[in-house]
Structure 1
Amino acid sequence: MSPFGFASAGKIRFGRGTASEAVPALVAMGGPVLLVHGRSAKRAAWLKQGLEAEGLTVISVFCGGEPDLPMLKEGLAAAQGARSVVGLGGGAVIDLAKAIAALLPSSTDPLDHFEVVGKGLPLNADPLPFVAIPTTAGTGAEVTKNAVIGIPEHRRKVSLRDDRMLANFAIIDPALTDGCPRDVTLASGLDAITQVIEPFLSRLANPMSDALCREAIPRGLQAIRRLLEGEDSGARDEMALVSLFGGLALANAGLGAVHGLAGVVGGMTGAAHGAICGVLLPPVISANAAAMARGQGDTSRFFELDSWFAEAGFDGADGLAAWADEQGLATLGELGLQASDVPAAAAAARTSSSMKGNPVPLDEETLVAILAAASLAPPNRNAIA
């Protein structure tokens, strides 16, 4: 067995009602507290009021969409004087909060620390204490050591990454995801499923990430079906757990071509990350399985995956694609990817850090085929041979 390590947030609390632990944790960290929240300030009012009742000054920063470098710089300017940071929202909110917590103590240009388009330098100072509280079940960002930020001038989404960016405290209260809009539930749920499938298939997988993924994949496939049939608190709990397990797995076993492509497509279109991952997942699974079979590699994990699809009532990856399409998941074309951008997107994706975990190298021609397939509705999105 090869040596491996496993890193995670300093402390994790999971379960309904655990959000109540946020205020005392932040009081112990000290204020002023930077509160990064999503579109609705009302959804963050309980936390702001709780902190202020304890005598802490709260600085609020609004994250209205996928975070980019200008938004990050605005957040850093607004956050001056903060001594701790809390991100309350979806993956975009948590990534922005995480990046601000990481860069606020730094004296360097933020771009110096980004992968691919920057210098990829480690942080030159420890991040501020950081608490992550997700309100969607998708990215698992509350337990990852990177923040994905769009760089508009490069039309890319890239990571700011450092082991010290792991949250001091991650609080996953599934009650905060109750009533999440249907389109967000679909996109974030498919993102969560992608983020347990890719680490499971990753060539960097290890026994601990495997245990998490084998537990989470069937749970996620069954829970997303239940949630799209109607509000279900038990299924919300399941998806929140899958999202958490996905964050833990990807932080330690990497991802693959879905995320390698998604970062580029997201930078080009500005579309929601989860929706992009959801539409890319089936053709990437098919392309990887075909490439592994041609190379006579070990395809046993793909057979395991097929068994979990079947248990959840899906006819393989193509069945998941057809079901997601019926539920209203947009194609890449509908999300804004232009046919003329496909070759450039495929070429750029090959340099993505996520590609390092893909189970087999995929050439540019195959990546073009994946993007083209994901731009079409099923059944034209079927297996790529």
Structure 2
Amino acid sequence: MRFTFAGPGRIVFGPGVVSELPGIVAGFGERVLLVTGGHPGRVQAVVDGLGAAGLCVTAYAVTGEPTVAMAEAGARLARAEGCQVVVSVGGGSVMDAGKAVAALTTNPGDPYDYLEVVGRGLPLKHAPLPHVAAPTTAGTGAEATANAVLLSPEHQVKVSLRSPGMLPDVALADPELTYGLPPEITAATGLDALTQLLEAFVSGYKNPMTDALCRQGLHCAARSLERAFQNGSDAAAREDMSLAALLSGLALANAKLGAVHGLAAPLGGEFPAPHGFVCARLLPLVMAANVRALGARDPDSAALAAFAEAGRILTGESAGTDAPDAPDAPDVTDAAAGVRWVKGLCDRLGTPPLSEFGMTAAAVPGIAAKGLAASSMRGNPVQLSQGELEAILRAAL
């Protein structure tokens, strides 16, 4: 067995650790580019703390999902202000923007030289600026990944700017920063984390370390996602989900994802759909398709056993373990139970059909074709055909 594992230079986790942010940032430099969401007032306490520490802060607000142009604009601002460190405080879009800005600040020129799928995919020539990422949602795990997802409007697709050097120097995950999330955002971001944990757990690139992270993350999400949705002030549930999101980021960065994210990338490029809800709508359908395909094409697959283990973790049960004379049955039974559990959770959390975001049956073949070419699709445990992907999309409408 051979594998590699990489993560942020340092992880700081726990309620209240945001108070340590100014001291951490000061270790990288005095001139800070602070990347926030479209409503920077929500993190005013963080801004005040950086200022009180004597740091010179230049704010850059990211409205909506980051585009290539937004990342370029942030990099120009950072260079103009002589910024020495990038701090991103916000959701996944903000942290992705922060990673892209940190990379492009030291690598000026055409960003498409470095973008995957629609660009040349070349390695970065220079190390990015230091970057400290502090999530205010519990979902994407972007504080622990080495890529930035950017929208390329002219190509109508989301693609990654990726480099090992883009892993944040510090990931600071404080569950208290998520306390104000409304139920809808709690659901969308939490379902994204669940999707990432499940996809990394069955990925063809998984390894013992990512398996351990996914197991813990799945336990956290199974017991706390719905609780956090129902009661946003449940501190234990918020802490569980912040940990699940962090673990999902570490896992996907080292084990890759799968067909859910492979389809979500072109979907998000063409339709104004929240990424978490797209993943949630697709997740049980992709799980079922993968389980069917594995059962038919590779019934002894380690991925099928992983689906079964995930099913047992999510349901808290161990269906079929008392049937030693039918060794294949437990895997299929437990995997199917996991699919049902995920579908039930997505329904209870109000996951809308894709048609609510403007997607029509006419768009299905094109999305499926783009999904086949997406980088995330390489991690799927079985190769799904164009027809299988189209069937998943039609069922999600």
Normalised TM-score (structure 2): 0.91
Show the counterpart of 1:120. 121
Which residues of structure 2 form unaligned runs of 5+?
Answer: 318-335
Show the counterpart of 2:178. 177
1:311 has 2:316 as partner = yes
Show the counterpart of 1:248. 250
Aligned length: 374
Displacement of 1:3 after TM fit? 0.3
Show the counterpart of 1:383. none
The 10-residue stretch of structure 1 (233-242 or 47-56) with the greater mean CA deviation from structure 2 = 47-56
Show the counterpart of 1:33. 32
- 1:223–1:236: 8 Å Cα contact kept in structure 2? yes
Q: Which amino acid aligns with 2:39?
A: S
Alignment of 1:1-385 (within 5 A): 2-80=1-79, 81-231=82-232, 232-297=234-299, 298=301, 299-311=304-316, 316-375=338-397
Please list the CA deviations of residues 201-260 of structure 1 after superposition, one character each: whole Å capped at 9, or x if unmatched: 001100000011111112202211212222211000000000010000000011000110
The 10-residue stretch of structure 1 (97-106 or 217-226) with the greater mean CA deviation from structure 2 = 217-226
Q: Which amino acid aligns with 1:83?
A: Q
Displacement of 1:303 after TM fit? 1.5
CA distance in 1, matches of 2:261, 2:165: 22
- 1:66–1:272: 8 Å Cα contact kept in structure 2? no
Indicate the SS of the match to 2:373.
coil
- 2:307–2:338: 8 Å Cα contact kept in structure 1? no
- 1:199–1:213: 8 Å Cα contact kept in structure 2? yes
Show the counterpart of 2:329. none
- 2:315–2:341: 8 Å Cα contact kept in structure 1? no
- 1:156–1:263: 8 Å Cα contact kept in structure 2? yes
Please list the CA deviations of residues 63-115 of structure 1 after superposition, one character each: whole Å capped at 9, or x if unmatched: 12111112222222222221110000000000001100011011321111000
Displacement of 1:315 after TM fit? 5.0
Q: Which amino acid aligns with 1:115?
A: E
The 10-residue stretch of structure 1 (238-247 or 34-43) with the greater mean CA deviation from structure 2 = 34-43
The 10-residue stretch of structure 1 (271-280 or 164-173) with the greater mean CA deviation from structure 2 = 271-280
The 10-residue stretch of structure 1 (180-189 or 218-227) with the greater mean CA deviation from structure 2 = 218-227
- 2:72–2:104: 8 Å Cα contact kept in structure 1? no
CA distance in 1, matches of 2:360, 2:112: 28
| RMSD of aligned residue pairs (Cα, Å) | 1.6
CA distance in 1, matches of 2:387, 2:61: 40
- 1:35–1:87: 8 Å Cα contact kept in structure 2? yes
CA distance in 2, matches of 1:45, 1:227: 24
Which residues of structure 1 form unaligned runs of 5+?
Answer: 376-385
- 1:90–1:134: 8 Å Cα contact kept in structure 2? yes
Normalised TM-score (structure 1): 0.94
Indicate the SS of the match to 1:157.
strand
Please list the CA deviations of residues 172-220 of structure 1 after superposition, one character each: whole Å capped at 9, or x if unmatched: 0001001211100000000011111001000110000001111111220
